C-alpha cells in the first residue's frame, strides 16, 4: 500500500462524515476541505506519527474573481519522513472572508498568513500578529485581488511629507 492510500484512509477514518475530497493532478495530491475543519485537519496531519507533515512550505490564496466562493486558500505541506507533498484547499466566500489561523500548528504559517492578508484581504482568526507584511499599514487595498488594476491606484500610497 503506498503512502497516498494510507493518508486517505487515515484522514477519512479520523474525520468521518466531513466533506473531504481527495484528487490528483500531475501526480500532486490535493485535499479539499471545509474551512471550519482546517485547524483540526492540519493538527492531525502534523502530529500523527505515521503522517508527520512537519514542514509548512507555503500558504497562499487564489482570487477566482467571478466564482460564487470567490477565494480559495491553498496550503502546501510536506512530510519529510514519507517524502510526500500535500496541497490543502479550502474555499471562502467574499461575504465572510476569514479562516482560522494555523499558526498554532506551524510557526512558519505566521508570515505566510500575513502575506495573504496583505495581498488578498483574507482575515485569519486567532492570528497573533495580523499586520501587513509588504505594504504600509495605511494602504487601503489588497493588490493581488483581480479588481485591483495592474498600474495601481493613483494617490493610494501616501508620500512622505515635505
Partner 1 sequence: MEKLEKGEVHPKIIQALLDANTDISVDDALENEMILNMGPQHPATHGVLRLLLRLDGETIVACVPDLGYLHRGYEKMAENMSYYEYIPHTDRLDYISPMANNVAWVLAVEKLAGIEVPVRAQYIRMMIAELARIASHLVAIGAFAMDVGALTVFLWTLREREKILDIWDILCGARFTNSYTRIGGVANDAQPEALAKVKWFIDQFEENLDECERLLNSNRIFIERLEGIGVMPKDEALDYGFTGPNLRACGYEFDIRRANPYLKYNDIDFKIPVYTEGDCLARYFVRADEARESSKIVRQVLEKMPQGEILANQPKKVLPKKTEIYSRMEELIHDFMIVNFGINPPVGEIYHSIEGSKGELGFYLVSKGEGHPWKCKIRSPSFCNLQALPRIVTGYMVSDIVAIIGSIDPIMGEADK
Maximum CA pair distance of the chain?
A: 68
Q: How close are the terminal C-alpha atoms of the chain, in Å? A: 68
Residue ranges in contact with partner 1 by CB under 8 A? 25-26, 28, 54-58, 60, 62-63, 74, 76, 80, 83, 85, 87, 106-108, 110-111, 119, 132-136, 143-144, 148, 150
By C-beta, is 23 or 98 nearer to partner 1? 23
By C-beta, is 40 or 55 nearer to partner 1? 55
Tell me how far, at minimum, the Cβ of 36 lies from partner 1, in Å.
23
By C-beta, is 20 or 52 nearer to partner 1? 52
Tell me how far, at minimum, the Cβ of 75 lies from partner 1, in Å.
11
By C-beta, is 36 or 81 nearer to partner 1? 81
Task: Pull the grid cell for residue 35.
Answer: 474551512
Tell me how far, at minimum, the Cβ of 141 lies from partner 1, in Å.
12
Give the total residue count for the chain: 162
Tell me how far, at minimum, the Cβ of 160 lies from partner 1, in Å.
14
The residues pairing with 25 across neighbouring beta strands, listed in sequence order, are 28
Q: Could you please report the per-residue DSSP string of 9-73?
A: HHHHHHSTTS-EEEEEETTEEEEEE-GGGHHHHHHHHHH-TTT---EEEEEEEEE-SSSSS-EEE
Amino acid at each position: 500500500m503506498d503512502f497516498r492510500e494510507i493518508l486517505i484512509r487515515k484522514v477519512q477514518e479520523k474525520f468521518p462524515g466531513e466533506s473531504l475530497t481527495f484528487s490528483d493532478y500531475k501526480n500532486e495530491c490535493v485535499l479539499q476541505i471545509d474551512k471550519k475543519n482546517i485547524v483540526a485537519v492540519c493538527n492531525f496531519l502534523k502530529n500523527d506519527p505515521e503522517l508527520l507533515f512537519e514542514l509548512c512550505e507555503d500558504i497562499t490564496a487564489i482570487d477566482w474573481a467571478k466564482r460564487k466562493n470567490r477565494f480559495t486558500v491553498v496550503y502546501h505541506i510536506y512530510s519529510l519522513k514519507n517524502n510526500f507533498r500535500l496541497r490543502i484547499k479550502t474555499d471562502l466566500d467574499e461575504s465572510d472572508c476569514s479562516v482560522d489561523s494555523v499558526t498554532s500548528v506551524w510557526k512558519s504559517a505566521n508570515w505566510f498568513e500575513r502575506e495573504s492578508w496583505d495581498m488578498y484581504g483574507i482575515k485569519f482568526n486567532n492570528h497573533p500578529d495580523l499586520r501587513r507584511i509588504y505594504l504600509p499599514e495605511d494602504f487601503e487595498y489588497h493588490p493581488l485581488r483581480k479588481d485591483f488594476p495592474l498600474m495601481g491606484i493613483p494617490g493610494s500610497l501616501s508620500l512622505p511629507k515635505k
